[in-house]
Structure 1
Amino acid sequence: MSKEDDIARVKRQELELVLPSLDEGVAFEVGAAIRKRAVTEGLSLVVDIRTWDRQLFFSATPGTSADNAEWVRRKVNSVRRFQRASYRLVLERGEEPFSVQSGADPADYVIAGGGFPLRVHGAGIIGSLTISGLPGRRDHGVAVDALCDHLGRDRHDYALAEG
């Protein structure tokens, strides 16, 4: 797949992987499924699910550190500000830090995969699902897989090619 194909696929993920609702129960269900996958597959990752006003789920598996939570914070900020998956920012802009002129201070914003906007029917983007611990494309893939599973969608229809 080309970069343009990947961008189109991520845009489709963002538009079609829409939750009917988001509350503590949904966040726990999705987050616990990601944690179970991480433990089963031996993945070191942090998962964070939140609305813009508060965190609903957080988990860390062995091999992660405080750095992962910091990456999550910066990815969440990027998703919220730019209203798109943080991996789409990577595809569109590259992984160079934001410039000072952008107003997106690299201490608070990052261009790295793993942050995914949570869109709710009738409400728009109200939060994010963020993964940190794997390479950015894989962080993104874990988030997309979890949303597909939760929504009963075929992962293969939404997955990016191995890269």
Structure 2
Amino acid sequence: MSIESFDQKLEMVIQEEETLQYASFTNEDALELGLKIIDLAKKAGQSIAIDITNHGVQVFHYMMTGTTQVNNEWLERKRRVVSLSNHSSYYLELEGAKTGITYNDRNLLDASIYGPYGGGFPIVVQGSGIIGIITVSGLTSEEDHELIVKALRSILNK
């Protein structure tokens, strides 16, 4: 992929992070978001694991038939990266691919604990910043990211 293509994708992800924000976010919103992602995955014939945190507390977790403990481990790795960076894990994957230096290498992080691959996305409340994280595992990293974005767009009507 060319540098320009990376730049375009990075800009797209930044735009998603800046626009896909809630006015407020409750545990009921987490339930709605989680169920929306599951519905989209089912309609596409996909099997995923999903996790949503609100202020560091797990408020939604579901593993569709066909997912395993490995998916659960990836949820944790992606969540940790979003928590450290305040960016989506897909952004960090793209940035590493563009520069040739992964997020883990740049920050001396253990790859078995931190996963800078698509499927982790910050939940932002306007005026409050990041208050939670949505993570998905089971597809390609780009598809995991796109599933989250599609659900957020649907719910937030953006």
Superposition TM-score, scaled by structure 2 size: 0.90
Q: CA deviation at 1:32?
A: 0.6
Pick closer, same or farther for the CA change 1:4–1:97 going to 2, 3 Å.
closer
**2:116: which partner in 1?**
111
Q: Distance in 2 between matches of 1:80 and 1:88?
A: 13
Q: CA deviation at 1:41?
A: 2.1
- What amino acid does structure 2 have at the position aligned with 1:57? F
- What amino acid does structure 1 have at the position aligned with 2:82? V
**Structure 2: any 5+ residue segments left out of the alignment?**
none
**1:98: which partner in 2?**
104
Q: Distance in 2 between matches of 1:92 and 1:103?
A: 16
Candidates 57, 61, 64, aligned match of 1:61 = 64
Q: Distance in 2 between matches of 1:116 and 1:41?
A: 21
Q: Distance in 1 between matches of 2:130 and 2:13?
A: 15
Q: CA deviation at 1:97?
A: 7.0
Q: Is the 8 A contact 1:97 1:106 kept in 2?
A: no
Q: Is the 8 A contact 2:93 2:103 kept in 1?
A: no
Write out per-residue CA displacement over residues 120-160 of structure 1, whole angstroms, 9 at most, x where no aligned residue: 0111011111110000000000000010001011xxxxxxx
Q: Is the 8 A contact 1:33 1:146 kept in 2?
A: yes
Q: CA deviation at 1:106?
A: 1.7
Q: Distance in 2 between matches of 1:59 and 1:133?
A: 12
Q: Distance in 2 between matches of 1:149 and 1:38?
A: 14
Q: CA deviation at 1:38?
A: 1.8
Q: Distance in 2 between matches of 1:134 and 1:55?
A: 22
Deviates more, 1:29-38 or 1:70-79: 29-38
Secondary structure in structure 1 of the residue aligned to 2:58: strand
Q: Is the 8 A contact 2:10 2:91 kept in 1?
A: yes
**Structure 1: any 5+ residue segments left out of the alignment?**
154-163
Q: Is the 8 A contact 2:47 2:64 kept in 1?
A: yes
Secondary structure in structure 2 of the residue aligned to 1:44: coil
Q: Is the 8 A contact 1:48 1:129 kept in 2?
A: yes
**2:133: which partner in 1?**
128
- What amino acid does structure 2 have at the position aligned with 1:111? P
- How many residues are matched? 152
**2:42: which partner in 1?**
39
Pick closer, same or farther for the CA change 1:107–1:52 going to 2, 3 Å.
farther
Superposition TM-score, scaled by structure 1 size: 0.87
Q: Is the 8 A contact 2:41 2:147 kept in 1?
A: no
Q: Distance in 1 between matches of 2:102 and 2:21?
A: 30
- What amino acid does structure 2 have at the position aligned with 1:70? E
Q: Is the 8 A contact 1:117 1:125 kept in 2?
A: yes
**1:26: which partner in 2?**
29
